[in-house]
Chains A and B, each alone.
Chain A
Amino acid sequence: MTSRDLILGRIRAALGDTGTVAEQPLPRRYLSAHAPADDPAALLDLLHRNLTDYRALVHRCTEAELPSRIAELLAARGSRTVAVPAGLPDGWLTAAVGVEPLPDDGSLTAARLDAVDSVVTGCALAVAETGTIVLDGGPGQGRRLLSLVPDHHLCVVRAPEQVVASVPLALPRLDPARPQTWISGPSATSDIELDRVVGVHGPRTLEVLLVTV
């Protein structure tokens, strides 16, 4: 007998008593959102507050200002090199003079990225209630290691279309087959006396640009 058959057999034997008991439907009486899902301005403010609360640096700008804001933020950190995921909109880095772009064609290694100053990505969506941005490897987001190895991650969120209120409203918009990274603030640890320390292995600085029309 294989272990598969053994385990499945043990499960069926263990559940022998449950066959005759009628099953209740799953109670899903919880809320689909705790924030007003139909108020885009309030949601954006909430996302802003919650991202800030977990030590992300949050900025706002309009679509037209985006290239110059990206250039300013990279310059403010003194970034000389920036990893560029496939599908990042062409215009985003046009104003970043003096920053060497490293477009990812699948060949950027972790060792190479370890020496890169910043990465600029878009996102799949953002969750206001929890202060979370979600990357799913779609256009402008790149392979997972791009937003992981460099020490500075600059992420662009388009409002209102990419902002959802809650986790229950986020999941139906995401594809379970795609590799996803949910990011809520920069990496952190509470392992020493349960004191929260920001910045361990992931990017120690997370900047989020909230872009409105």
Chain B
Amino acid sequence: MSDTFLGMPAFPQAAARAVRDRQLRANLRHATHTIRDKRARAVAELPDWAELRSAGKAIKDHTLRHLDRYLVQLEEAVTAAGGTVHWAADAEEANRIVAGLVHATGTTEVVKVKSMATQEIGLNEALAAEGVTAYETDLAELIVQLGEDRPSHILVPAIHRNRAEIREIFADRMASWGRPAPEGLTDSPAELAEAARLHLREKFLRAEVAVSGANFMVAETGTLVVVESEGNGRMCLTLPRTLISVVGIEKVVPTWRDLEVFLQLLPRSSTAERMNPYTSLWAGTTRGDGPSEFHLVLLDNGRTAALADQVGRQALRCIRCSACLNVCPVYERAGGHAYGSVYPGPIGAVLTPQLRGTASPVDASLPYASSLCGACYEVCPVAIDIPEVLVHLRERVAEQGGHPVERAAVAAAGYVLDHPAALAAAERLAGRTRALHPRRLPGPGRAWTDSRDLPEVPAEPFRDWWRRNRT
């Protein structure tokens, strides 16, 4: 990533720009519609989907309720299996821990498995500042990194790019990062994937340190799980001598058995597959097989603040499947960048303001980046009631001040509605002056009428009409 998410414009401005980008809208529409139809078929194959979903929800809720206990249990199990556990209260501390571990190996390069947590903390930038180059190895992350771009989707971060754009990025940029793209590269997805295979293989073969996230951590056994498709995850988790996994504290599940629920929910909900091509599971280190050194960095970075919110804490159930992005009418039109966060779409609109707070304009605008249609809740495999959390967060934003003109208007309306004589007078005045009413509001109300017509005021108030005709 060449630029950071901080200082982003609020959602409405960023979305308005994105909506005018016809290429972006076409790419997004094509991609989200493709995946949502496939997902519906994959889910329909399981007659017990509803039961799996409620089990997934219940297991996550139970875990969150006893999160302290399960994290301590996980720490014991990982340590007993030969791993080292670190605790990071915030992004800065997590980055410092990882940079220290990389420095201790003496290398200046790491290969990375796609990880939302390390994007959230800006690990690549932090490592670069320490003289360490982080190579993204997921195909989409590679596209984003080479294109000096930002990810726009949880599952397919380069969803905003079409094949022609990707060909151009590879042809132009691969050479400055390592092995150049093959001569005469076309835009066929198979050729582009082959170019990535060749470009990255030399990096896998010489890498001494890998950084990953994890989809699940099992408290009772210390097992970590990484779900992927391309094999870049297996390369990173297997070949280097040192493996560092940075994982949010909410990723823990209590028991080995609990995986039977999530390994059914996640692939079908995410990539619409019965099972994703590769799932790697490991506990600590194994003599003679894979990394000889394993570090687990447990990341808080705002998660405990979300946990303290009785309504908002359900967002911590999220297993990052991205189904909610693919069905969201707002995401489909605005795209992922408009959300100003590594977590875009409906889940981002509830997660980001909880992790980062609602002080900045972009974070305060996120709970409003929704029409509350509820499609996200329908598809969520762990039944996060995203609309409920959005409304709850809107209340929080409103309580912290809202808009001064809005406050004045609401105070005036409160007075008028409390005083029937004043209300009747105001209604009559409005009716008699209606020819003078503008179609759009002046001043600060203008934005509201950018996309709406002002309602027409009737010629006389209803109560006057009733008195004249019915009494």
Which positions in A face B, CB cutoff 8 Å? Answer: 2-4, 6-8, 10-15, 17-18, 23-24, 26-31, 34, 50, 54, 106, 110-111, 114, 127, 129-132, 137, 143-145, 148, 167-168, 171-172, 176-195, 197, 199-203
* Chain B residues with CB under 8 A of A199: 190, 193-194, 197
Take A15-B65, A176-B218, A179-B289 as given contacts and tell me if A28 and B189 are in contact as well, using a CB distance cutoff of 8 Å. no
Cross-chain contact A143 with B290 (CB below 8 angstroms): yes
User: What is the 8 Å Cβ interface bit string for chain B, positions 288-328, against chain A (1 contact, 0 not)?
Assistant: 11100000001010001101101001000000000000000
Cross-chain contact B281 with A176 (CB below 8 angstroms): yes
User: What is the 8 Å Cβ interface bit string for chain B, positions 185-204, against chain A (1 contact, 0 not)?
Assistant: 00001101110110011001
Cross-chain contact A194 with B277 (CB below 8 angstroms): no
Cross-chain contact A137 with B289 (CB below 8 angstroms): yes
Cross-chain contact A143 with B31 (CB below 8 angstroms): no
Q: Which of B45-53, B384-392, B451-459 interfaces with chain A? A: B45-53
Cross-chain contact A167 with B59 (CB below 8 angstroms): no
Interface flag for B407 (CB, 8 Å): no
**A171-B259, A187-B229, A194-B156 given. 8 additional CB < 8 A pairs?**
A8-B71, A11-B304, A14-B313, A167-B264, A176-B220, A176-B221, A179-B290, A197-B189
**Can you show 19 pairs from A to B with CB atoms below 8 A apart?**
A11-B307, A26-B59, A28-B55, A29-B51, A30-B261, A110-B205, A111-B205, A130-B275, A132-B275, A144-B234, A176-B218, A179-B290, A186-B277, A187-B231, A188-B229, A190-B156, A193-B30, A194-B156, A202-B277
Q: Which of B102-110, B159-167, B365-373 interfaces with chain A? A: B159-167
Report the Cα distance A186→B190, complex, angstroms.
Answer: 14
Interface flag for B260 (CB, 8 Å): yes
Cross-chain contact B55 with A26 (CB below 8 angstroms): yes
* Chain A residues with CB under 8 A of B222: 176
Query: Which residue of chain A lies nearest to B158 when distances are taken between CB atoms in the complex?
Result: A191
Within 8 A of A (CB), among B64-119: 65, 67-68, 71-72, 81, 87-89, 93
Interface flag for B257 (CB, 8 Å): yes
Report the Cα distance A54→B238, complex, angstroms.
Answer: 24
Q: Which of B54, B192, B201, B232 contacts A192 (CB 8 A)?
A: B192
* Chain A residues with CB under 8 A of B267: 130
* Chain A residues with CB under 8 A of B58: 24, 26-27
Interface flag for B465 (CB, 8 Å): no
Report the Cα distance A171→B55, complex, angstroms.
Answer: 17
Take A11-B304, A26-B58 as given contacts and tell me if A192 and B234 are in contact as well, using a CB distance cutoff of 8 Å. no
Shortest beta-carbon distance, A177 to chain B, in Å? 5
How many chain B residues sit at the interface, stated as a range, is 35 or more
Take A7-B298, A110-B239, A194-B31 as given contacts and tell me if A179 and B286 are in contact as well, using a CB distance cutoff of 8 Å. yes
* Chain B residues with CB under 8 A of A201: 137, 197, 200-201, 204, 230-232, 234-235
Counting chain A CB atoms within 10 Å of each CB, the highest count among B30, B58, B93, B273 belongs to: B273
Report the Cα distance A54→B298, complex, angstroms.
Answer: 35
* Chain B residues with CB under 8 A of A137: 286, 289
Interface flag for B249 (CB, 8 Å): yes
Query: Which residue of chain A lies nearest to B268 when distances are taken between CB atoms in the complex?
Result: A130
Cross-chain contact B231 with A148 (CB below 8 angstroms): yes
Query: Which residue of chain B lies nearest to A28 when distances are taken between CB atoms in the complex?
Result: B55
Interface flag for B283 (CB, 8 Å): yes
Within 8 A of A (CB), among B212-231: 218, 220-223, 229-231
Cross-chain contact A23 with B273 (CB below 8 angstroms): no
